[in-house]
Structure 1
């Protein structure tokens, strides 16, 4: 069971994402080294990553902790997906390149990672109008078989997740914390089915929410989506950063174009000016023709995917 030994390395001080990425790639290309052999003989890490004697000791000390954590992940049916795994989302690698997370922790229908998807970003304190528009957008996507991706925060995120599932659609919850810290929020609890959702985290399973993780989480939302819809953004904060990163990565960015933006949407005109494509209303409903054209739904089967399975060794 490689997962236990991978966790043993991930739990060790001084081994961050860059080091884990190098270790994973080394193991995948080595005829001799495995995660287990590296844990049993930590000095083998010297040619792969920068190491100190204290790191070797810490790796050995984390053996029992990793074993317990691995058992808990298995009990809760949480899967681990490595960057080198053929099941790792191709879209994520394409968008984020070298910056894609080396490890993903998944709970739910992992098939959804390979479906046609659109991401949402917006204020936690979205206006009433913003929540209505988010709901209408997510409903249209669900009806077309497009998976909704968002960050499981209050406001815009929960409105997008809820509307997708309420209209027989699917959604991806991208977490800013460890997957073992995630709970089913009341707003979505009754909408969940075994097939219509998946929770995804790039962080250690017991990691707590923090601002830095929330920013990294935004990158994962962008990377899993073929286009992003920005509902409301202030001039600073996480949504503003997500909008800027979407443009920087040359991903299609669609921005709700309010006639009179609320304070929570005061940066929306800025993003339209920077190249974001405006979403305007048609008969009182957001017109998503541009979104569907950008993600090419006419030439793709939105619900088609290869059956993904991850088994514990």
Structure 2
């Protein structure tokens, strides 16, 4: 289903998108990702959202944004309504959908892992549900020999047989070989494109796969945008963020998009385990990635052994490199993976603080997770004991760690109505992978959660009859 273009998304497009069909706005006029991030924060601080910039009282709001973005520049961008209507009609005719971080339909994996660095706008074609299925990311060089193409296609076919989504970048060489192998074997594929989304979706071969729900193509860049080296580099983090594990089939050393994306994943982001090809002719690039912590690909031969690559723990970080809401920062914890509007774009902080409870009528799939357990937490009694007397029953030993875990238990139960891996839970709670894994293991031991294989992840244990 193609989501309706929300007022917030329309405003964000006017501010950040080139609207190439019109070709009347130079790239220097548009807000850069950093500028939009600052504007979104400022709007939140003044208890506004992007759609308010085109509302009847927009003049006052635009003036209030002057310290962040020049008012005349905002007015020029927001005045492109006619061009926007033209390009929307063009996208709709090609079944291209558009979502922004302010929309509930925005991929929750990107929100959870990239936070404010998730693209403000995402364009796509195909079944959006595939973006939530995880799977194996396969990346590599554009220029490789036939032997590596065949090898990569076999990886795609194995992923399809295992029922795992394949995620890649759609570029020539390794990317396309992996995707083709999976698609020919009847598997599901998510392609994260750096350019030419519109052209790619109009390809006859791709069109049938898109319509049948076997393929989804997305891009953070205008559907008509051509190739740009910087864009190709920046979109790499989206490939890793949508996956559960990754395989680098080939790479140069110290240059190229494949190298840059893998190094960023190993050194900074650490979303998923990074494997490198371990058979055939070696390369300086793969050896260098091994020295940085990449793992040798275990060369699974069947679906069961393929599933094991998703059980390798992701390297944990002491502190999250992403800025997000902490567990106990005075505001209700937000389920970063829930299909809910991004509070950075739509909900002022003060409003979150003023509304600690969630109305019963709000659907559980779209509300924020509050740190409230169905059972009240244990509390230390403050009742005074008369002088000279001692209490027969000592006060329960409630240590801060237990109070913390009581709240965490409730939050994790709300998160895991659908299977999630420990890395996803860590991203949602803004804690290290090691801490999330320890909490999850304890809940498994308590019988609250169970760890399943297909789809892989932790989920709330369902009580069976007469159990």
Q: State the TM-score bracket (shorter-chain normalisation).
A: 0.7 to 0.9
CA contact (8 A) 2:30 2:77 kept: no
Residue of structure 1 aligned with 2:178, choices 143, 148, 160:
160
Return the index of the structure with the highest Cα Rg. Answer: 2
Q: What is the deviation of 1:144?
A: 1.5
Structure 2: runs of 5+ lacking an equivalent: 1-5, 18-24, 314-420, 422-450, 458-467
Given the superposition, is the C-alpha separation of residues 294 and 87 from structure 1 closer, same or farther in structure 2, using an over 3 Å criterion? farther
Given the superposition, is the C-alpha separation of residues 100 and 57 from structure 1 closer, same or farther in structure 2, using an over 3 Å criterion? closer
SS at match of 1:220: helix
Tell me the residue number matched to 1:45.
62
Given the superposition, is the C-alpha separation of residues 69 and 59 from structure 1 closer, same or farther in structure 2, using an over 3 Å criterion? same
Tell me the residue number matched to 1:271.
289
CA contact (8 A) 1:106 1:201 kept: yes
Distance 2:241 2:251 in 1: 19
2:82 matched to 1:89?
no
CA contact (8 A) 2:209 2:215 kept: no
Given the superposition, is the C-alpha separation of residues 234 and 283 from structure 1 closer, same or farther in structure 2, using an over 3 Å criterion? same
Tell me the residue number matched to 1:241.
260
Q: Deviations over 1:210-265 (max 9, x none)?
A: 0000001111111111111100111121111121012122220011013532xxx4
Q: What is the deviation of 1:108?
A: 0.5
CA contact (8 A) 1:232 1:256 kept: yes
Distance 1:143 1:282 in 2: 12
Q: What is the deviation of 1:101?
A: 1.2
TM-score, normalised to structure 2's length? 0.57
Residue of structure 2 aligned with 1:114, choices 132, 148, 156:
132
Q: What is the deviation of 1:272?
A: 1.6
Instruction: Give the alignment of 1:1-313 within 5 angstroms.
Output: 2=7, 3-11=9-17, 13-21=29-37, 35=51, 37-38=53-54, 41=58, 44-48=61-65, 50-177=68-195, 179-184=197-202, 193-235=211-253, 236-248=255-267, 249-250=269-270, 251-261=272-282, 265-281=283-299, 288=306, 290-294=308-312, 299-302=452-455
TM-score, normalised to structure 1's length? 0.82
Distance 2:184 2:86 in 1: 37
CA contact (8 A) 2:37 2:116 kept: no
CA contact (8 A) 1:110 1:198 kept: yes
Given the superposition, is the C-alpha separation of residues 90 and 58 from structure 1 closer, same or farther in structure 2, using an over 3 Å criterion? same
Distance 1:129 1:201 in 2: 29
Distance 2:79 2:202 in 1: 33
Q: Deviations over 1:20-63 (max 9, x none)?
A: 34555677898765526437636623544722254144225422
Q: What is the deviation of 1:303?
A: 9.8
SS at match of 2:124: strand
Distance 1:180 1:271 in 2: 34
CA contact (8 A) 1:247 1:276 kept: yes
Distance 2:44 2:96 in 1: 22
Given the superposition, is the C-alpha separation of residues 5 and 92 from structure 1 closer, same or farther in structure 2, using an over 3 Å criterion? closer
CA contact (8 A) 1:38 1:45 kept: no
Q: What is the deviation of 1:121?
A: 0.8
Tell me the residue number matched to 1:308.
none
Q: What is the RMSD of the two structures over their aligned residues, measured on CA atoms?
A: 3.3
Between Structure 1 and Structure 2, how many residues are aligned?
A: 300
Given the superposition, is the C-alpha separation of residues 43 and 9 from structure 1 closer, same or farther in structure 2, using an over 3 Å criterion? farther
